[in-house]
């Protein structure tokens, strides 16, 4: 009967190991690596959570949604949950999906280390601005301002570019 008292303790210990492994897998790179990625303008913002203006926060699993940044291109593949003030012309383009090659990119040091980055695509009709706040250890928050939709925010991490999987469109 004493072993029955150990079951809750074992469950707590195993849950702790599971959480620490998940947290480790979701953690970002070293500050030196993040600095190099940001300064080279060659990184990926990998979405982990979506925070719409109204409604609940939604966790994102896998590496399905991201924004890829390079010196000459911004490639956005983000989900959208919220109010749209006009319907998209192509219903299959429901999220914030675009490739921009004409954009303003402004990078400034953040208040507590890290960086504040503002990206303004000039060749995309709906998106006015991406505001990306990156900590020195790679955790990041992205706020998207659109002309025809409510603002939306995303939490995630900055990673280095990897070969892209084919995404469903």
* Whether the predicted pLDDT of 78 surpasses 70: yes
Residues with Cβ within 8 Å of residue 167, at least 6 apart in sequence: 64, 77
pLDDT tens per residue, range 61-70: 888 899 999 9
Task: Return d(Cα 61, Cα 46) in angstroms, integer.
Answer: 10
Q: Which one, of 148, 119, 147, 152, lies nearest residue 47 by Cα? A: 152
* Strand residues in the chain grouped as ranges (E): 43-52, 58-59, 66-69, 74-78, 96-100, 103-109, 115-121, 127-134, 139-146, 152-159
The model's pTM: 0.77
Task: Return d(Cα 134, Cα 142) in angstroms, integer.
Answer: 9
Tell which CATH architecture fits domain 29-159: Beta Barrel (2.40)
Class of residue 74 by CB neighbours under 10 A (exposed 0-12, middle 13-18, buried 19+): buried
State how far Cα 132 lies from the chain centre: 9
**pLDDT band, residue 126 (cuts 50/70/90):** confident
Q: What is the domain partition of the chain in residue ranges? A: 29-159
Per-residue pLDDT at 71:
94
**pLDDT band, residue 166 (cuts 50/70/90):** low
Q: Dihedral angle at the C-alpha atoms of 42, 152, 156, 15, nearest 10 degrees?
A: -170
């Amino acid at each position: 009967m004493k072993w029955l008292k150990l079951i809750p303790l074992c469950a707590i210990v195993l849950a702790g190991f599971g959480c620490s492994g998940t947290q480790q897998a979701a953690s970002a790179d070293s500050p030196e690596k993040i600095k190099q990625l940001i300064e080279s303008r060659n990184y990926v913002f990998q979405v982990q959570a979506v925070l719409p203006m109204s409604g609940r926060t939604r966790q994102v699993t896998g590496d399905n949604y991201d924004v890829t940044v390079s010196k000459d291109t911004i490639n956005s593949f983000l989900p959208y949950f919220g109010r749209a003030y006009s319907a998209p012309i192509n219903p299959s383009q429901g999220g914030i999906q675009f490739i921009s090659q004409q954009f303003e990119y402004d990078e400034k040091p953040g208040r507590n280390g890290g960086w504040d980055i503002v990206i303004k695509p000039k060749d995309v009709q709906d998106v006015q601005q991406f505001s990306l706040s990156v900590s020195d250890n790679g955790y990041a928050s992205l706020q998207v301002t659109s002309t025809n939709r409510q603002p939306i925010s995303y939490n995630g991490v900055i990673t280095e570019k990897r070969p892209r999987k084919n995404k469903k469109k």
